[in-house]
Amino acid sequence: MSVLAAIAVLAILIVVHELGHFTAARAQGIYANRFSIGFGPILWKYQGSQTEYALRAFPLGGFVGFPDDDPDSTIPPNDPNLLKNRPVLDRAIVISAGVIANLVFAYFLLVAQIGIAGTQDVHFQPGVLVPDVRSELSSAAARAGIKPGDIVLAVDGKELGASKESIKTLMEAIQSRPNQPIDLKVQRDGKVLPNPLVVTPDAGADGKAKIGVQLSPNVTIERRRVGNPIEVLTLSASEFQRITVLTLQGFGQLITNFGQVANQISGPVRIVDEGAKLARSDAFNLFTFGALISINLAIINILPLPALDGGHLAFLLIEGLRGKPLPTKIQDGVMQTGLMLLLGLGIFLIVRDTSQLESVQKLFR
């Protein structure tokens, strides 16, 4: 059920994004003849009075179609309600509406979570949690016997305190000691292991050592009910700002440090897997999960890349500066190439993330 819940959240976010485009077009009287969730072959469709609604085979997004270039359309090409015949500002509103819808929806998801479940008070505990360990033999952590769920309490005899700085301290100790043994004091299942685990970090290509683990703060979380509506809105705004800033910082790291961060890019399968884990731990976490993914979708879509909303806005900016649009062949060529690359990346991420699922890896052990 947790997997289905995570899939449902992703589907809702896609619908919200496309509804933003669709509503902005309809509100301005612009024709929209297709509303599709997914790409590729149609699995199900319903023909409304003006619009065809469809579910398609590849769940990597969706689109709102316009009759501007539809050869079967009976609308005169000079009709003022065709998208291409509208001023640049009208078209920009339609294109950017999906991003705006995702951001607004993310905020109200946080409002719903805090209003229903309350806010979370985080209390730091000593040490650093290891939620995941690479299982390959090449992982230094796996060779040392570190397991998911372990808590590292000390490194080389230095205690890791109960603060958010503990992760930084542990990371610095690991990264600065390539091919050198490090003693880790570890707590497992509530008990401190009698002997420290000795891990020898592998030297990375960038000169920083690594052991092949994920690290998280060791915290306990308590929920606090919030009865004041003003406080609910204020806390939701603060959490929205925090998530947005962290997301932007993540994209900044992807640009400045692509080699290290690229492996952390998640596709639909890994996103669903992580969402399912959150749902199993606390169903209310799906609200935060939905807000996080919705903000990510908004930021990704506003990037000036082909086939994304930002790519269309870039073409509109060029049109505004030139006083006329780029030739249709150039725009179509760029967008079609971008779409193929986007679908190719999506399929690659699905295959890669599926192969890394623990349930799939067990089949081959």
CA–CA gap between residue 315 and residue 93 (Å, rounded) = 14
Q: Which residue has 């204020």 as its token pair? A: 234
Active site residue 18: yes
Q: Are the beta carbons of 63 and 46 closer than 8 angstroms?
A: no
Enter the tokens of residue 2.
């947790």
- Concatenating the DSSP letter of every residue in 189-200 gives TTEE-SSPEEE-
Q: Are the beta carbons of 97 and 105 closer than 8 angstroms?
A: no
Query: Which amino acid makes up residue 364?
Result: F
Enter the tokens of residue 161.
């305190």
Q: Are the beta carbons of 267 and 349 closer than 8 angstroms?
A: yes
CA–CA gap between residue 97 and residue 22 (Å, rounded) = 8
Instruction: Decide: helix, strand or coil at residue 64.
Output: strand
Query: Which amino acid makes up residue 346?
Result: G
The partner residues of 185 in beta bridges, in order of sequence, read 154
Strand residue runs (E) in the chain: 34-47, 52-65, 119-133, 150-155, 158-159, 182-188, 191-192, 197-199, 202-203, 209-210, 213-224
Inter-helix orientation angle 285-302/2-27, to 10° = 50
The number of helix segments (H) and strand segments (E) in the chain equals 11, 11
Enter the tokens of residue 140.
């230094």
Strands 191-192, 158-159: pairing is unpaired
The residue from 18, 52, 165, 358 that is catalytic is 18
Among all residues, which ones are annotated catalytic? 18
